Structure 1
């Protein structure tokens, strides 16, 4: 790693303002517990585990920002990692934009990570950061698809079967995870320019014509979206604690 890359500080923006309705009624998704600890804390710790990360910005629900700040204060992070809590916006893009705008000027690399991916391994975080440091303007961790993927058309009648249009060649397809890494100026420009709603930040860079590259993701970086995902996350966490004392 060059002296120049060492001088570039890396921050993580974690949008955690969503309600997570598919997970069922209850607290906001990021505040649901996993192994007795809120998922948000697991996600923050996963980011702070990387020695490359010096700042974590949590974007909280606007009416819960103070409570989230107290929650983070109660859970120890590595001394090398600072954190901020800022109020989120109406949607994910607004929240990420708020997090990026809150960054101090000496941050050159920004990761964006889903709070609902609490178990991403530190090696994945490091791989994303290193790829940006090596010159990639935008980086996503990704996994090959195990299932056959078919394109479908809308059903003839509401609730009816969907006609299959095509079977896609899965060898060229990837399931994308987070954290996604970016040159700070590129990410800020994407959020200032792209107004259409998107599902991830890398697609905003693509709309600007920017290059995005993929590095290997990890099966344990899955997103906790539905109740069954929470069961799987509990099992992964229990195995880590039994094997590694995590």
Structure 2
């Protein structure tokens, strides 16, 4: 099975308080994107495509292995992954889409996604149970419902897909579509998405506190 990994790395670093693109913000001396690429490779993905902010290819090339393919991302995550998918090798059987902002994702999570795809699942995402009480509120902030936690999950990356199915799902989207993740893209096309266990270490780095937490994990 030929797997290609697409790393979404075109986001800004504004919420991290950085002038750098988020994926280039250092964690323990290495940019977030380098950690994420290493996680995919350690989990069994050899071919990597990274979507980068337009005009920043040189900065990314300086911190990544030379065999990583760099392509310009778009104005949204959906547009960036679409660009990465177009750049992937035509003979790839499956695609894993990973967030550069999940640098400490254990290789075991990647391997679980690959194993489920090898077993014939068309779409696979790693998830974790929801442990806090979760509520629905109206526009005024008043609680209107409290869904049972038993069937709620937090979704992580990498998310894995049969390459042909993901490509068809993206082709069916409008050019300006902006969905929250790739599981939403294939679900919009009517494709069932199965889950495998995620990992707390695969937490997303969004704000400065998240980066501090990741630094503490690395130092342990």
2-structure distance, mates of 1:99, 1:184: 12
Shift of 1:90: 1.6
Alignment of 1:174-213 (within 5 A): 174-195=153-174, 196-213=177-194
Aligned length: 218
Query: What 5-or-longer segments of structure 2 have no aligned partner?
Result: none
Query: What 5-or-longer segments of structure 1 have no aligned partner?
Result: 1-7, 75-81, 156-161, 240-246
Shift of 1:166: 0.4
- SS of the residue corresponding to residue 56 of structure 2 reads helix
Match of 2:109 in 1: 124
Q: Highest CA radius of gyration, 1 or 2? A: 1
Match of 1:222 in 2: 203
2-structure distance, mates of 1:30, 1:106: 28
Measured on the aligned residues, the alpha-carbon RMSD in Å equals: 1.2
Shift of 1:103: 1.1
1-structure distance, mates of 2:215, 2:11: 21
- SS of the residue corresponding to residue 12 of structure 1 reads strand
Residues 112, 196 of structure 2: 8 Å contact kept: yes
Shift of 1:234: 0.2
1:167 aligns with 2:152: no
1-structure distance, mates of 2:186, 2:126: 15
**Per-residue CA distance 1:92-118 (angstroms, 9 max, x = gap):** 111101111011122111000000000
Match of 2:25 in 1: 32
Residues 31, 63 of structure 2: 8 Å contact kept: no
- SS of the residue corresponding to residue 149 of structure 1 reads coil
- SS of the residue corresponding to residue 58 of structure 1 reads strand
1:68 aligns with 2:60: yes
Q: TM-score under structure 1 normalisation? A: 0.86
1:17 aligns with 2:10: yes
- SS of the residue corresponding to residue 71 of structure 1 reads coil
Shift of 1:192: 1.2
Match of 1:111 in 2: 96
Shift of 1:72: 1.1
Residues 74, 80 of structure 2: 8 Å contact kept: yes
**Per-residue CA distance 1:173-214 (angstroms, 9 max, x = gap):** 000000000000111111111233211000111111101001
Shift >4 Å, 4+ stretches:
none
Out of 71, 74, 89, the residue aligned to residue 86 of structure 1 is 71
